[in-house]
Amino acid sequence: MPEGVVIRSTGSWYEVRSEGREVFRCRLRGKFKLQDLKVTNPVAVGDQVTFELEDAGEGTGIITNIHPRENYIIRKSVHKSAHGHILAANVDQAVLVATLAFPRTSLGFIDRFLVTTESFRIPSVIVFNKADILTDEGLVYQQELTELYTKLGYSCLRTSTLTGENIGDFRHILRGKITLLSGHSGVGKSSLVNTIAPALVLRTSEVSAFANKGVHTTTFAEMFEVEDNTFIIDSPGIKELGLAYMEKSEISHYFPEMRDRLGECRYHNCLHVHEPGCAVTAAVQHGEIAQTRYYNYLSMLEGDDNRR
C-alpha cells in the first residue's frame, strides 16, 4: 500500500504526498485513537501515513494507518478545552515568528510557546519580523530580547520581508529541515515563506489598522518543499497558547534557566513561589533570571491552562 506524508489537513480531507511526489486527497476510515491523546485532529500535517487508493483517476484515497510520531506539538484546543490540537508532527524545529509592533507579540506568548516546544523537546528559533517598522527604541528593545533569549539557548534573528534583511540567514536556518512556522496572525509567516520561495505565492493580508491584529489569512496548516529536502509548515495564526498536558510541577523544567537550578532548591517539590531556600527566586533577586521570564512562569503556574 502507498505511503506518504500529510501536507495539508482541512479536518475532513488530508492531502497526502506520496513518495513519488504525487498528491492524493485522502479521508480517514473509522475512528483513530492514537497514544491515548485526546485531540481534535487525529491526523496532523507532518504525519507519515499508509493509505489505500480509492479512485486512482480522481487521486483520492483512504488513510489506513498513521505511523508512530517522532514528535509533535500540541496545544490546548480553543473549542474543547479538555482536548488538544496537534499543530504539526515529525518536525525538526519550530520557528516562532514574533513582531514587537503591528501586531505586538507579548513576552507571555513567547514564553508559553517556548515552554510548549521545550516540553516536546523541539528546538526553537525566534524570528523577529518587520524590523523595518521598528523605531530606534524598538530596535534597542528587540536587541535586548535577542540577548535574553540567545543566552537561554534560543537562536534569534531579525528579519524584514520588505527590505530583505537577513532573509539569507532565515533560509540557512531552514535548510535540510522540517520546520513549523508559528506565531500570531499578521506577523508575516506566509510572507516569509513567499520571500524564500516566491513561486508559492501564498495569500497574505494586511493587519487591521483598527484592531492592530491579523485577519487569519492562512486557515489550514500546510507543508511546502521550499528547496530540496527543506520543508516548511505554514500555519494559521494563534491568538493564545494554552499549555496542554502539563502538571504544575513540570513547568519549571521547561525554563532552561530554572531547570539548571532545580537541584539547588531546599525542597525537591519546590514550585519556586514562597518556599524558603529556593534557588530560583534567589536567582531572580540577584538578576540572574529575567523578571519577565519569572513573572510569565508564575502566570503559567496560576493559569488554568496547566490542568489536564
**Residue 296 C-beta: closest distance to Zn ion, Å:** 16
Among 4, 46, 214, 242, binds ligand GTP (CB under 6 A): 214
Is residue 290 involved in binding Zn ion (CB under 5 A)?
no
Peptide bond into 103 cis (omega under 30): yes
Cβ neighbors of 208 (< 8 A, separation 6 or more) are 186, 214, 215
Is residue 233 involved in binding ligand GTP (CB under 6 A)?
no
Q: Nine-digit cell at 55?
A: 479512485
Is residue 217 involved in binding ligand GTP (CB under 6 A)?
yes
Cβ neighbors of 283 (< 8 A, separation 6 or more) are 257, 261, 289
The sign of the dihedral angle between the CA atoms of 271, 277, 280, 281 is positive
Binding string, 203-232, against Mg ion, x = CB under 5 A? --------------xx--------------
**Residue 95 C-beta: closest distance to Mg ion, Å:** 13
CA distances for 195 relative to 237, 272, 294, angstroms: 18, 44, 36
Is residue 142 involved in binding Mg ion (CB under 5 A)?
no
Cα gap 47→6, rounded to integer Å: 5
Chosen from Zn ion, Mg ion, ligand GTP, none, partner binding at 161 (C-beta under 5 to 8 Å by type): ligand GTP
- Contact segment (CB under 6 A) with ligand GTP among 32-40, 142-150, 179-187, 221-229 equals 179-187
Among 38, 216, 253, 307, binds ligand GTP (CB under 6 A): 216
Among 272, 283, 284, 300, binds Zn ion (CB under 5 A): 272
Is residue 182 involved in binding ligand GTP (CB under 6 A)?
no
- Contact segment (CB under 6 A) with ligand GTP among 21-29, 53-61, 156-164, 167-175 equals 156-164
